[in-house]
Structure 1
Amino acid sequence: VSEYVRAKVIEKGEPIETPPSLSYGFGNAENEVLKAKLLGGTFKNAKVLVQNIIDPNRMPLANIKVKVGDEILLKVDGTNDGIERVLINNYSRDGFLIYLTGILVIVLALVGRFQGIRTALALAISIVIVIQLLVPLIVKGYNALLVVTAISGVIAFSSLIIVTGFNRKTGSATIGILGGVIIASFIIIYADQKLHFTGISSSRTAILTQFTVSEKLDFRNILMAGIIMGLLGTAMDSAVVVASAVREIKNANPKLSTSQLITAGMSVGTDLLGTITNTLVFAYLGLRLILLMTFAGTSIFTGGKLEILSTETISAEMLRILAGSIGLVLTIPITAIISALWDKIFGFLGLIRS
């Protein structure tokens, strides 16, 4: 059996200097022996010894500095006769993330009460759809951009039904979101022809191309699909607010004309533009702060702005921000128009009039 197991460090030996042959030719690496208790897996509760080499000449992510009480991730190889080999793999980070997820659900329930619980449920279902439907379809070789565009509609509709119910607001918001997503998709497809993306803009992606089990993966399309996914959350926010505003205004004054309802929806939407667009931009910049430092031309990096802007990584992030923002902005008028025309478009069929 070969498995990754969470373990808790219960004892730490004094580090000894590692010979140059084991430390990239340098003699200043340290080799410490850790005693750890396995917290799961086939050999749960077993106590094992594992070597941990700390070498300042390696990249920081390759050095795992631990203390007694820390949880680490071990690769354990063994047979029915017992454990044969144990290697330290990384810090164990999943436990804390699970606790933090629980705190998020509790906060949603305390602040939003029943609505907060429905929000948590909608989020959970969206994650399940991504993991169980979207990712397998892409792995099977389906066009990632088309898959993400279609799944975006499914996620938007299912989430809005859970949070706001099956009504006119849900229908018009979903159509508005899909409209913004589709427009952003066309922009991205056109931009790809101009920017000549390969989709392999990072070391992680390059490694994935070597070890992937599928030869059908189109990393260029996956890159573009990721841009669309980043738009979905903020587009849902703006579409729901605009659709809700139009519905409330129409309910308060049924005599308003279609053009007046569109104007009212646009008025609410334009108030959202500044904050929602900033949310999208800073969400991307926050994830890519190191790239922002690169473009700013700090002393950390060499190369002019023209050279930096022409790299695939930077230009892909710029496209992510620009195409996403355009799709987000256009979601507002599409939602306002659909909301105002809802009764005329769908009323004769008797669909979702509330």
Structure 2
Amino acid sequence: MTRTQPPPFSPSSEPSSHHGRGVGDGHGHSHSHAHGPAAPVSRQLRKVIAAILIPFTAAVVAGLVVLWPGGVPSHQRSGLGFDRQTQQATVTRVVEVDCASVNASGGGTPIGDTSTGGGTSGPQKAGGTCKKATVRVDTGKDKGRTFTEIVQPDQSRQLRQGEKVVAAYEPSAPRELQYSVTDVNRTFPMALLAGIFAVAVVIVGRLRGVMALVALAVSFLLLSLFILPAILQGSNPLLVAVVGSSAIMLIALYMCHGLSARTSVAVLGTLVSLSLIGLLGSEFIDWAALTGNTDDSTGLIHGLFPHIDMSGLLLAGVIIGSLGVLDDVTVTQTSAVWELHEANPSLGWRELYRAGIRIGRDHIASVVNTLVLAYAGAALPLLLLFSIAQSGVSTVATSELVAEEIVRTLVGSIGLVASVPVTTVLAALVVSADRPARTAAADGTTGTPRSGPGPAGPVPLPTARTGRGRRRKR
């Protein structure tokens, strides 16, 4: 008698032609390589996973409620750096003038903003040809008002007629000095690049790409509406970072990869790795006596909000910065183990772990290198200054500016390295522990392998869909 059930572990979407190919296998399994949704795990395993993640999710929600800020606290603007009033403006006219005349007379106009790279911090040249730009204010209460800007020939930013710029406004200055060009308006090119990115993600990722973009938007909302205002309001930066990054992790992973056991294992692996990063970061930031107050931006923050714990802010940055790469590693490792199990359901957890960790070693090498180079690229101007000063390697590495980046890089990298074996072993244990239950469910028996009549033991069975499979003669 020929049964019509498909072999166990075969996804329902698998083409019928694949079934006849596996009927002669001694294990009676059809090894599917389809990359469809992960098969659901047993109710018992779902209960175990839920018992861990539901309290964690409830704690994250409670943290969001307790720590949610009422908004960014108000303060009196200092007029320094980024803490200035700005308006949109347009360069309406540019003419060449003699630098000697404008520098000698002062011209009554600003000569460029040196805090953002628009001007030069050295003495102004007495000779040469400068540019005198007429700039029109396009927004705010002074809309339509014009002011002039003198651009030195050695400035990195040269103004052009018709160019959109950002003008800083200082109401306490004399009227002719209240406005000055501080930056270029980059709204259009940045928006265009973001649009190209979104289109590329949707074209390649399709529905997954759309969900990834939604998750990205939610992450930015949590960052701008919760994490930053809560820190400015005086909440502990480390606690805010842990709660915020956990919320981002849960929303992004489940939104992009679905509510499944496979995603839950990735969440658990990410959680363990983030905990390790937080512990190591806290210990070594304290041990190395890193203050987190090393440049103009952090100095300005500390001056405006002295109650903020700057070392805690540094640790919060380490945790949030590591989260994105951690998600990638844990999801990849979990998917690899799940696919290995689908390809060969007879593998035990040790075999699955060994196969998955071989994939993970390649991932570790590429991810750590990427992270180190990313931090090095961000700190390249600083490293160049040390090179110009001909400082020794030990002097550079132990200075607080560079030590911060080294601690940030190494702590994040240790967490990434640890996430591979942690996530792999969790995934291997889950799928291997669930294998007997799934086999029994697929066979409709109490857990014993399907077998044909007689003492010959298990006999592979054909499927009614193909008509090509035959019972092997013994």
Question: Normalized against structure 1, the TM-score is what?
Answer: 0.83
Q: Which residue type is aligned with residue 359 of structure 2? A: V
Match of 1:89 in 2: 182
- Using the TM superposition, give the Cα deviation of residue 294 of structure 1 relative to its aligned residue in structure 2, in angstroms: 4.9
Distance 1:21 1:173, change over 3 A: farther
Q: 1:139 is matched with which residue: 208, 219, 232? A: 232
Whether the 8 Å contact between 2:368 and 2:416 is mirrored in structure 1 is yes
Q: Helix, strand or coil for the counterpart of 1:74?
A: strand
Q: 1:312 is matched with which residue: 390, 400, 404? A: 400
Distance 1:111 1:306, change over 3 A: same
Whether the 8 Å contact between 1:294 and 1:308 is mirrored in structure 2 is no
- Using the TM superposition, give the Cα deviation of residue 222 of structure 1 relative to its aligned residue in structure 2, in angstroms: 0.7
Whether the 8 Å contact between 2:349 and 2:432 is mirrored in structure 1 is no
Match of 1:303 in 2: 391
- Using the TM superposition, give the Cα deviation of residue 306 of structure 1 relative to its aligned residue in structure 2, in angstroms: 2.1
Q: Helix, strand or coil for the counterpart of 2:96?
A: coil
Unaligned runs of 5+ in 2: 1-83, 112-121, 436-474
Whether the 8 Å contact between 1:75 and 1:87 is mirrored in structure 2 is yes
For 1:75-117, what per-residue CA distance to the aligned partner results, in whole angstroms no more than 9, with x for missing partners?
Answer: 4589xxxx99543232222332222111211121222222222
What is the percent sequence identity of the aligned residues?
A: 27
Distance 1:255 1:238, change over 3 A: same
Match of 2:439 in 1: none
Match of 1:34 in 2: 133
Q: Which residue type is aligned with residue 4 of structure 1? A: T
- Using the TM superposition, give the Cα deviation of residue 191 of structure 1 relative to its aligned residue in structure 2, in angstroms: 0.8
Q: 2: distance between equivalents of 1:8 and 1:107?
A: 32
Q: Which moved more, 1:64-73 or 1:313-322?
A: 64-73
Match of 1:69 in 2: 162
Counterparts of 1:264-303 in structure 2, within 5 Å, are: 264-294=355-385, 298=387, 300-303=388-391
Question: Normalized against structure 2, the TM-score is what?
Answer: 0.63
Distance 1:9 1:176, change over 3 A: same
For 1:8-50, what per-residue CA distance to the aligned partner results, in whole angstroms no more than 9, with x for missing partners?
Answer: 2221133343244748975628775433444444565x3x422
Match of 2:151 in 1: 54
Q: Which is bigger in relative contact order (C-alpha 8 A, separation at least 6)?
A: 2
Q: 1: distance between equivalents of 2:222 and 2:432?
A: 33
Match of 2:246 in 1: 153
Bigger fraction of residues in strand: 1
Bigger fraction of residues in helix: 1
Q: Which moved more, 1:64-73 or 1:324-333?
A: 64-73
Match of 2:422 in 1: 334
Q: 2: distance between equivalents of 1:154 and 1:345?
A: 29
Match of 1:228 in 2: 319
For 1:235-279, what per-residue CA distance to the aligned partner results, in whole angstroms no more than 9, with x for missing partners?
Answer: 111100111112222334444322223223222211211111111
- Using the TM superposition, give the Cα deviation of residue 343 of structure 1 relative to its aligned residue in structure 2, in angstroms: 6.2
Match of 1:350 in 2: none
Q: 1: distance between equivalents of 2:381 and 2:201?
A: 32
Whether the 8 Å contact between 2:166 and 2:184 is mirrored in structure 1 is yes
Q: Helix, strand or coil for the counterpart of 1:133?
A: helix
Whether the 8 Å contact between 1:148 and 1:229 is mirrored in structure 2 is yes
Q: 2: distance between equivalents of 1:40 and 1:169?
A: 51
Distance 1:204 1:55, change over 3 A: farther
- Equivalent residue pairs, number: 331
Q: Which residue type is aligned with residue 94 of structure 2? A: K
| Structure whose alpha-carbon radius of gyration is higher | 2
Distance 1:132 1:25, change over 3 A: closer
Counterparts of 1:190-269 in structure 2, within 5 Å, are: 190-210=283-303, 212=304, 214-269=305-360
Match of 2:55 in 1: none
Distance 1:21 1:345, change over 3 A: farther
Whether the 8 Å contact between 1:20 and 1:27 is mirrored in structure 2 is no
Q: Which residue type is aligned with residue 328 of structure 1? A: L
Distance 1:286 1:25, change over 3 A: closer
Q: What root-mean-square deviation, in Å, do the aligned CA atoms of Structure 1 and Structure 2 show? A: 3.0
